[in-house]
Chain A
Amino acid sequence: MASLGLGIAMVLILIALQANSDFNQLLYSDKNQNETADFLVINKKVTNSMMGQPQKTVFSPEEIENIRRQPFVQASGLITSSKFKVVAQAPGELHFATDMFFESVPDSFIDVKEEEWKWEPGNRIIPIILPNDFLNLYNFGFSLSQDLPQISQETVKALPLQIVISNGLISETYTGHIVGFSDRISSFLVPASFMDWANEKYGAAGTAATASRIVIKTADPSNPTLVKFLDDHGYTTNQDKLKFSKTRVIVQTIVSVIGFFGLVLLFFALLVFSMFIQLIIAACKKEIQLLVTLGTAPKQLQRYLLKQFVPLYIIIGIVSLLIVVALQYQAHLVLARHDMAVSPLPAVWTFAGAVVVIALVYIVNLVTVRKYILQDQ
């Protein structure tokens, strides 16, 4: 019974350790890099009292610095908006023209890794990234109501757009080339190099670049400090991304509960083992006394008694580890079907946990054996 208890306790503890490790792996490893989870676009809330005063939504340099200094911010970038007018026209007979705008972020925040994502002065072709949502809005909302054709991503990428950039004085035509679609930043993005150049060239003189949106990279969007920071400063972000935090808290609670039950079970298993040893020592009291009478040294007795139990623990440890290995492999296969990668083998921590538990059991045994052997003499 004690062995079974120890086995279950050990499996539970190992599962808790392993689940924790898997969870971290799912969250942070490169294979599972979840874009919406790691990048947040922060802006100030637009309230009724702020309407008509765009400068109130601008982040001051102090505020930007403050955001940068937060421990949960791994990297941050300003979203620069264009200071010129943009008109996009579809080619051919589509007869589609719209006023629009551009924004840019540092290249490291772009989740579309395209070779075309670069621009140098003199290039007439501007690479553009569209938000996925935009294409969806067009395809499923706009085009159906206007009796226009739906467009696939590939077609959009193949379409050369006519981009007219003007500032009231000069007006120039470029060719826009859609290179990708982004879920991360809902905006019309152009390379930062183009934006800087164009703002310089077409922008109204004397207006310094201001930032009203900041993109930050964070390891953990579910971090409660992050959520609190945003609330305290009246900033908002895509709340959907923060919802993930609740799932995570729930999973971690479950894992902790499993671990806690494992610990409780381990405690009882240790207790039972300790009593089991006492029982055996009591049952063999006569024999033990005779051995001592014949000259058996306490250390010899101790070794002998421990030799009766230790192999059992090792076996329990190995069986528990095998069970966890099997479960982990199973989890690996199941999660792989959902495109989530976890290692097929348990983590080093799990093995370390097994060693620690066995060591703990051994120490408890040693103490019990010592105590009762000495008492018996």
Chain B
Amino acid sequence: MSAFIPVLYPALRKPDPKYYLSLMQIQLDQLLPVPLKDKILQRKSGIWNENIVFNPGSFVKIKAPSGTGKTTLVHYLYNIRNDYTGKVLVNGKPWSEYGRNEIAFLRQQQLSVIFQDLRLFEQLTALENIELKRVMTPTPYCTPEKVAAMAARLNVTHVLHQSSKTLSYGERQRIAIIRALVQPFEWLLMDEPFSHLDEENTRRAAALIAEECSARKAGFILTDLDDDQHFAYNVLYQL
């Protein structure tokens, strides 16, 4: 089991048609992280403790200084943390009411993510990390050629067959971006996705992301420390 290379079978579960009928809406209802509660209540926040609706297809930028719960918010939105009061509603239903299979389905089909800490499998090569995600869906959304094209655009073709452990943080960041883009989604969550990229690579990555979102008619929620002009944002929030 040293090489934990999952050759995952297509999920047995058939996609539930109801997910296709409406575009995925994300809604925050008085969301407040328990660990940051006191700190947040002392100041004004555009997100915490508010009622907010992220409309399908919109490009959302959330600007936040360090320590205000940027990553926490992304984790709440992606439902890997739940130490909060209030609710995160997905299609009108709070995360807590979703079952494991439904969550897995959403993560395969409608919700993609680029973590700040990237979360690649270190024991796999860069390409294997991407492939793992690509073949997780019953029918892969992207072809291997498409993956190669994206890698070429982000200048990481030469590292695809290297173990992800040996890559630089910037290279890993681009692999994580490609991994997030090989699946179908309606929302893409990004947590400081360009933190370790130079200007040129940031521009290329942003262009690729914008293209892929438009192709899917998908929206994204991006959190970052500063203002930027990488995308034509529809909505801006201050955390």
Could you list which residues of chain A lie within 8 angstroms of chain B, going by C-beta atoms? 280, 283-284, 287, 290-301, 303-304, 308, 374, 377
- With a cutoff of 8 Å between Cβ atoms, the chain A residues found around residue B210 in the complex are none
Contact A297 B108 (CB under 8 A): yes
Minimum C-beta distance from A297 to chain B (A): 4
In the complex, the answer to whether B119 meets A290 with C-beta atoms within 8 Å is: yes
Which 8 residue pairs of A and B lie closest in terms of their CB atoms, listed nearest first? A295-B107, A297-B104, A295-B108, A297-B11, A300-B8, A287-B4, A304-B6, A299-B12
B residues near A293, Cβ cutoff 8 Å: 78, 80, 107, 119
Q: Does B100 contact A (CB under 8 A)?
A: yes
B105 touches A297 (CB 8 A): yes
B133 to chain A, nearest CB (A): 6
B residues contacting the other copy or chain, number (CB 8 A)? 26
| A/B interface sample: 25 pairs, CB < 8 A | A283-B1, A284-B1, A291-B6, A292-B104, A293-B78, A293-B119, A294-B107, A294-B119, A294-B132, A295-B108, A295-B133, A295-B136, A297-B11, A297-B13, A297-B108, A299-B13, A300-B8, A300-B10, A300-B11, A300-B136, A303-B9, A304-B7, A304-B8, A304-B9, A308-B1
Take A287-B121, A290-B119, A377-B100 as given contacts and tell me if A296 and B8 are in contact as well, using a CB distance cutoff of 8 Å. Answer: yes
Closest CB in chain B relative to A73 CB, distance in Å: 58
B1 touches A298 (CB 8 A): no
Q: Min CB distance, A278 to chain B, in Å? A: 13
At the interface, is chain A mostly helix, strand, loop or mixed?
helix
Q: How far is the CA of A374 from the CA of B104 in the complex (A)?
A: 13
Given A298-B100, A298-B104, A290 and B121 touching (CB < 8 A)? yes
CB-based contact B121/A297 at 8 Å: no
CA distance A296 to B133 in the complex (A): 9
**Residue-by-residue, is B102-114 near A (CB-CB < 8 Å gives 1, otherwise 0)?**
0111111000000
Q: How far is the CB of A80 from chain B (nearest CB, A)?
A: 75
Q: A-B contact count, CB below 8 Å?
A: 64
Question: B: which residues have CB within 8 A of A?
Answer: 1, 4, 6-13, 78, 80, 100-101, 103-108, 119, 121, 132-133, 136, 183
CB atoms of B136 and A296 under 8 A apart: yes
Chain A residues with CB under 8 Å of B12's CB are 297, 299
Q: Contact check, A295 vs B104: say whether CB atoms are below 8 A apart.
A: yes
A377: chain B residues at CB < 8 Å are 100
CB distance B1 to A280 under 8 Å? yes
Quote the shortest CB–CB distance from B177 to chain A (angstroms). Answer: 14
Q: Quick check: B8 and A298 within 8 Å, CB to CB? A: no
- Residue of B with least CB distance to A373: B100
In the complex, besides A296-B104, A304-B7, 7 extra interface pairs with C-beta distance below 8 angstroms are: A287-B121, A290-B121, A297-B12, A297-B108, A299-B12, A300-B104, A304-B6
A308 and B3 alpha carbons, distance in the complex (Å): 12
Q: Which residue of A lies closest to B9 (CB)?
A: A303
Q: Are B121 and A296 in contact (CB under 8 A)?
A: no
Is B6 a contact of A296 with CB atoms below 8 Å? yes
Bound form: Cα–Cα A300–B133 in Å = 13
Contact A297 B101 (CB under 8 A): yes
Q: How far is the CB of A111 from chain B (nearest CB, A)?
A: 65
* A residues in contact with B4, CB < 8 Å: 284, 287
Report Cα–Cα, A304/B7, bound state, in Å. 7
B72 smallest CB distance to A (angstroms): 15
CB contacts (< 8 Å) of A300 on chain B: these are: 6, 8-11, 104, 136
Nearest chain A CB to B186 CB, angstrom units: 14
Q: Closest A residue to B10 by CB, please name it.
A: A300
